[in-house]
């Protein structure tokens, strides 16, 4: 069975994240240790440096902050017709309330979307995400007080580009607030612009902090992982646009 482009992108993207990339380089070093000891030692130094630096808070903050600080918090005085909350992740616990199944980024996105929706009583809420995520977002919004008639689900798109294309026909000419994780918005806006949609960014969740702590840890590495993922995504988006031209 041939792998889909979506699956291939996910596999490559995962391999190029800080921890898997460091482990791959370490494994390569071990394979070369007996035949190319100097190269192997160099690769080990690179792998250790990559893992250590991407887990170090000052470095991780500097990697992700430029992505997260591009757009200000959405001003609710600005009227909108549609609030688009892009899909994220959720846990599969069918007996739990939908809100409790949402991942950390997803709950922040939904809360920001509902904040904007509350300021625009006639606006609609668009939620998306495959593998049941759109339904979880839909149900969570209802649990938090949103009328079902105001919510439109897009359960099929697997990535942001597909989300933009799926929503395009219903967003043309409308005032749109685009809600997503702050680091993701630059890339998301690019896809929506390509689909002919003009949207105002609404950052919902930041990992970077104005206070830098001199620590090494998993949460710091996650900041770097998010930065790596978005920079790779922006590079891929740019390459695709160049090929189209």
- Predicted TM-score of the model (pTM): 0.90
Nearest-angstrom CA–CA distance, 173 and 152: 17
Identify the three-state secondary structure at position 92: coil
Identify the three-state secondary structure at position 177: strand
Nearest-angstrom CA–CA distance, 158 and 162: 6
Burial of 29 (0-12, 13-18, 19+ CB in 10 A): buried
Residue with more model confidence, 123 or 158: 123
Give residue-wise pLDDT tens across range 56-78.
999 999 999 999 999 999 999 99
Give residue-wise pLDDT tens across range 144-166.
999 999 999 999 998 999 999 99
Spatial contact of 86 and 178, defined as CB atoms under 8 Å apart = yes
pLDDT of residue 230: 95
Q: Give the residue-averaged pLDDT of 30-44.
A: 95
Is residue 3 scored above 80 in pLDDT? no
């Amino acid at each position: 069975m041939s792998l889909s482009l979506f699956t291939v992108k996910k596999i490559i993207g995962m391999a190029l994240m800080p921890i898997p990339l460091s482990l791959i380089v370490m494994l390569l070093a071990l394979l070369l240790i007996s035949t190319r000891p100097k190269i192997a030692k160099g690769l080990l130094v690179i792998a250790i440096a990559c893992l250590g630096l991407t887990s170090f808070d000052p470095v991780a903050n500097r990697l992700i902050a430029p992505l997260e600080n591009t757009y200000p918090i959405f001003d609710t005085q600005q009227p909108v017709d549609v609030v688009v909350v892009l899909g994220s992740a959720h846990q599969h616990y069918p007996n739990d309330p939908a809100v409790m199944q949402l991942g950390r980024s997803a709950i922040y996105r939904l809360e920001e979307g509902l904040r904007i929706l509350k300021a625009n009583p006639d606006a609609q809420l668009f939620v998306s995400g495959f593998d049941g995520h759109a339904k979880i977002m839909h149900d969570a919004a209802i649990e938090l007080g949103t009328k079902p008639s105001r919510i439109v689900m897009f359960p099929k798109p697997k990535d942001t580009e597909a989300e933009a294309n799926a929503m395009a026909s219903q967003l043309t000419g409308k005032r749109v607030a685009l809600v997503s994780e702050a680091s993701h918005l630059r890339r998301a806006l690019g896809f929506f612009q390509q689909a002919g949609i003009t949207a105002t960014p609404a950052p919902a969740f930041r990992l970077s902090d104005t206070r830098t702590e001199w620590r090494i840890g998993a949460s710091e590495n996650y900041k770097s992982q998010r930065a790596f993922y978005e920079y790779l995504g922006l590079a891929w988006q740019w390459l695709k646009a160049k090929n189209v031209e």
